[in-house]
Structure 1
Amino acid sequence: MSDIILTPLIVPATLDADDAGDFHALGALSRQICDEHVGLPDLAPSAAEMLPGWQDHTDSLDIGVVARIEGEVAGIATMSYAQEAGADTAEFDVLVPRAYEGRGIEQLLLRAAEADAAARGRHTLQLWTLHRPTEAVHMLTPRTGRGRIPSTTLSDAVQAEGYTLEQVERNSELDLRSDPVRIERSLAEAQRHAGSDYRIHAWNLPTPAELRDGYAAVLARLSTDAPSGDMEFVAEKWDADRVIRRDARLTGAGQLVSVVAVEHVPTGEIVAYNELLIASDRSATTHQFGTLVAAHHRGHRLGTIVKCANLLRWRDLVPESPAVSTFNAEENRPMLDINESIGFVPVSYAGAWQKKVR
């Protein structure tokens, strides 16, 4: 591995800057990895979509390391650190293209990321691997016991470095060109079941001022209420200002984001939400960016309401997008039931890995 050179990933002021090469490489390599691993390049955001988040360190610090062989990019590791007081996690992404797999670059980048996390006092290390929906000789089962994934060069390297497969997430897609009758029927049935105590709100980012506080409260619940197995996540702190910052990051490169939320009328609390996001290219794949029903309001079919209402709204907003992509934990059977009932089908999987060091 002596011919591998590691350098810090430079975050440019703009993508037109003279030092923007690393960041362009990150965007291109992210899409290449998604294509090579699961045949879905649109799973990865572009460099333009990522840059606003990397430039703003208020809520999350993102940094990277670039591996080069004879001047060519042979891999990139990224490290993301939540900025809440007491946060102990470090989230990694290790990107090594097929042409350079199995040459020790995965381990070198992972160890560089771990060294950075140690220097910042983080002891809970996490990363995700992508997998095709196929059977293989060596299949991996997470600690949750739900779902299985075929091993890959990266998952083998991660496992060898002491990480444990905690959870499997299913990536599903819905054909937006299909007949919406199932979605319409599901929404109507769910609204009848929920009754008059629940009211729908819908908007495009940026979030209206009068909804920011309520939206902040339900966004905070994603870090504590979503099924995560034994993956440890810091309880995020949210307020209206953080919503404004997030809105700016998500729309900073021309993306469109539609939100449907449900208010509990007796309390005025926003208790469920669903987000759909698309890049500036409105003919690209749509991504479900977040969906949650607050734990104390589950059982009223609010997940069906926010998901179906937003999908129907989206068909009018972005009629040229062919599909919606979403990730759900394999143990999150209530949300998978909703997805399956309205036509989502599995297209890939992700493995959630964790390692604790002291």
Structure 2
Amino acid sequence: MTETTIEQLRIPESLDGDEAADFLQAVEVSRQVRVHTWGNDELAYTAQELFDQCHDPFEWYVVLVARQGGDIVGRAGIALPLDDNTEQAHVTLDVLPGAEGLGLGRKLLEAAELFVKGENRRIVFVETNHPAGTLGDATVDPITATHGSGMLPLSNREARFAYSAGYDLDQVEQFSSCALPLEGSLVAALQEQASSTHESAYAVHQWLDRAPERWTAEIVRLEQGADQNGNDQDWDVAKLRKAEELSVVTGRRTMVTAAECLQTGALVGLTSISLLAHNTGVAFQDDTVVEMEHKGKAVGLLIKVANMALLMKEFPQARTIYTWNAPESSHLLAVNAQLGFVSAGVTGQWRKDFNAI
């Protein structure tokens, strides 16, 4: 058997020339893994995306690679936040389908854990991906998530890998996709449904990339209120502006639609869609927030339909939009179904706390 070695990948100065060869090979490993998992490479990093991530000022991104006979056959991406949550690390594992079953995933994970321990990171997150057709029966030997109502079956290979490595299932998210463009008649019908439900109690506001100054404090308030774990309590207008600037610099475009309560003048709902300027065929539905007292009034439907319409207007070449939702978010899942989202599978977020070991 060919010896396997694990080493840290050197990030090249640019994507041109021989010095980028290993970096590009690692990107190709990730692409092949996603094609094998989801049937296409729409969720794969491009070389430019990974290169940009390695230069994110808010996050230190390290790549470990597994080699066999000089070829890169696996990689571990390690994201270490530099601003908030600095006790955490997020690890993404990719092993070529032809190299599975040889223990490479375990070796990469152990090397990644050793690295993050050396950086005094005490909490590690790992993600597993489960297409709908391969998940298995979650009610047989279920692993129940710590947060939310999700579960994964221990019989599933990816779930068993994380569980046997000492990780707890933190949460499960429903993964869905929607083909674009939407039919104009569907958009009109959903807009009419939302309007008839809320009886013109709300005004819609939209923007690209940068929020109007009048709404910045309201956006911060909404996002802080939506974070039940308290992770965004230090979020403020300055950090909002910094995040917007970073998104533009790294080529990310963002469409935002917000709902203003006309009675109070406050923002009560917010939703965003993002895509990359060099890959505008694929979009991602990001967070949707609606204040509790305004739920049940079709505010979520109102802003999501309007934002989808904005996406199709600004980026008519977009062919697919993806989203992740907690399985207990039944209202958002119902709205997504109205828009045409269909389930593609689930993702599991796994957590290991070294302080508890």
Question: Which TM-score bucket, shorter chain as reference?
Answer: 0.7 to 0.9
Specify every segment of 5 or more residues in structure 1 that has no aligned partner in the other structure, as ranges. Answer: 226-231
The 8 Å contact of residues 175 and 322 in structure 1, kept in 2 or not, is answered as yes
Secondary structure, aligned partner of 1:355? strand
Structure 1 equivalent of residue 329 of structure 2: 332
Deviation at residue 149 of structure 1 after TM alignment: 6.2
Secondary structure, aligned partner of 2:257? strand
Structure 1 equivalent of residue 36 of structure 2: 36
Q: Deviations over 1:314-346 (max 9, x none)?
A: 222222322211111112111101111222111
Secondary structure, aligned partner of 1:310? helix
Structure 1 equivalent of residue 27 of structure 2: 27
Aligned sequence identity (%): 24
Aligned residue among 304, 310, 315 for 1:318: 315
Aligned residue among 188, 191, 208 for 2:192: 188
Deviation at residue 162 of structure 1 after TM alignment: 1.1
- 1:255/1:328 Cα in 2 relative to 1: closer, same or farther (>3 Å)? same
Deviation at residue 217 of structure 1 after TM alignment: 4.0
Secondary structure, aligned partner of 2:30? helix
Between stretches 15-24 and 284-293, larger displacement belongs to 15-24
Deviation at residue 130 of structure 1 after TM alignment: 1.0
Separation in 2 of the partners of 1:97 and 1:135? Answer: 18
Aligned residue among 138, 144, 160 for 1:142: 144
Q: TM-score, normalised by structure 1?
A: 0.84
- 1:185/1:233 Cα in 2 relative to 1: closer, same or farther (>3 Å)? same
The 8 Å contact of residues 88 and 122 in structure 2, kept in 1 or not, is answered as yes
Structure 1 equivalent of residue 52 of structure 2: 52
Aligned residue among 143, 160, 164 for 2:164: 160
The 8 Å contact of residues 175 and 344 in structure 2, kept in 1 or not, is answered as yes
Structure 2 equivalent of residue 256 of structure 1: 253
Larger radius of gyration: 2
- 1:217/1:148 Cα in 2 relative to 1: closer, same or farther (>3 Å)? same
User: Residue 116 in 1 paired to residue 115 in 2?
Assistant: yes
Structure 1 equivalent of residue 3 of structure 2: 3
Count residues with an aligned counterpart: 350
Secondary structure, aligned partner of 1:285? strand
The 8 Å contact of residues 34 and 130 in structure 1, kept in 2 or not, is answered as no
Deviation at residue 279 of structure 1 after TM alignment: 3.1
- 1:293/1:112 Cα in 2 relative to 1: closer, same or farther (>3 Å)? farther
Deviation at residue 94 of structure 1 after TM alignment: 0.9
Secondary structure, aligned partner of 1:291? strand
Between stretches 279-288 and 128-137, larger displacement belongs to 279-288
Secondary structure, aligned partner of 1:14? coil
1:99-248 correspondence to structure 2 within 5 Å: 99-134=98-133, 139=138, 140-143=142-145, 144-146=148-150, 148=152, 152-195=156-199, 197-220=201-224, 224-225=227-228, 234-235=231-232, 237-248=234-245
Structure 1 equivalent of residue 64 of structure 2: 65
Specify every segment of 5 or more residues in structure 2 that has no aligned partner in the other structure, as ranges. Answer: none
The 8 Å contact of residues 173 and 323 in structure 1, kept in 2 or not, is answered as yes
Aligned residue among 271, 275, 280 for 2:272: 275
Deviation at residue 148 of structure 1 after TM alignment: 4.7
RMSD across aligned positions (CA): 3.0
Structure 2 equivalent of residue 90 of structure 1: 89
- 1:73/1:206 Cα in 2 relative to 1: closer, same or farther (>3 Å)? farther
Separation in 2 of the partners of 1:105 and 1:182? Answer: 47
Q: TM-score, normalised by structure 2?
A: 0.84
- 1:32/1:268 Cα in 2 relative to 1: closer, same or farther (>3 Å)? farther
The 8 Å contact of residues 49 and 252 in structure 1, kept in 2 or not, is answered as no
